[in-house]
Amino acid sequence: MDSAVYDRMNDLEARHWWFVARRKIIASLIGRTLEKRPARILEAGCGSGGNLRMLGDFGEVDAFEYHDPAREAAARKTGMTIPFGALPDVLPFDRDYDLIGLFDVLEHIEDDVGSLVALRQRLGEGGKILITVPALPVLWSGHDVRHHHFRRYTKASLAEAAQKAGLKVTYSSYFNFFLFPLAVAARAVKRLSRSDVPDDRMPSSWLNVLLARIFGTERFLLGRVRLPIGLSLAVVLEAA
């Protein structure tokens, strides 16, 4: 990603509606996925560290990050040592994990299958990989370009990558479902007006709270049902 995107993420991830609600959704999915607690957990590509305290509620956490300033920010926030890592070739930890999380990371990596292979080799017995990614190639926009995405996924394309990596899908659902129509309309307006305003800018306080509540309600559904469409996709994988 561009350095400006990392800087904005570091500034907003504690309070922006999307980050706040997504953390609650991820925590809910982990609670319904983990078979062992306290668990050994790895966050692959932790960015500026916004998920690490939440992950710590479930066990012992390791994390690595590619981008130097983001890695330094994560270390300052958490007091953890955050080493350099780069999928698929540089994994700094030589141990097995009960849960590996890639939260909006895989779309940034050209070799997604090779990355999943590398992470599969770090799974302990019964271990799971929990992935969130942006969904639906038809929604490709300037946001994806600025964030240096290689792709947006569908259920089928992510399942195909997992199968090639020797993994099987145990749960898969789209999410950010309730705001999907609004987001599609907003992107259409931006396309027509040729606006280049970042999608992740901070809204007014009342709107930020409202969007966080709407998006956050999906945590009560994910892991129990499968939503038919959404801006994002969540998948749980295990060794085939």
CATH number at residue 199: 3.40.50.150
Q: Which of 43, 49, 18, 50 is nearest to 230 (CA)?
A: 18
Q: Determine contact, residues 158/126, Cβ cutoff 8 Å.
A: no
- Residue 33: DSSP 8-state: H
Residue type, 27: A
Give the structural domain span for 99: 3-239
The pLDDT, as a whole number, for residue 196 is: 67
Residue type, 175: F
Q: Determine contact, residues 167/240, Cβ cutoff 8 Å.
A: yes
Q: Which of 73, 86, 85, 78 is nearest to 61 (CA)?
A: 78
The pLDDT, as a whole number, for residue 146 is: 86
Contact partners, residue 181, CB within 8 Å, separation at least 6:
none
- Sheet strand arrangement including 97-103: 59-64, 39-44, 97-103, 123-134, 232-239, 167-175
**What predicted TM-score, i.e. pTM, was given to this entire model?**
0.94
The pLDDT, as a whole number, for residue 195 is: 64
Round to whole Å and give the CA distance between 212 and 150: 27
The pLDDT, as a whole number, for residue 54 is: 97
Domain count across the chain = 1
Q: Determine contact, residues 52/63, Cβ cutoff 8 Å.
A: yes
Contact partners, residue 99, CB within 8 Å, separation at least 6:
30, 33, 34, 39, 40, 41, 42, 58, 59, 127, 128, 129, 130
The pLDDT, as a whole number, for residue 201 is: 78
The pLDDT, as a whole number, for residue 135 is: 97
Q: Give the number of other Cβ atoms within 10 Å of residue 67's Cβ.
A: 18
The pLDDT, as a whole number, for residue 2 is: 56
Which ranges of the chain have pLDDT less than 70? 1-6, 193-199
The pLDDT, as a whole number, for residue 43 is: 98
Helix or strand (DSSP H, E) at 125: strand 123-134
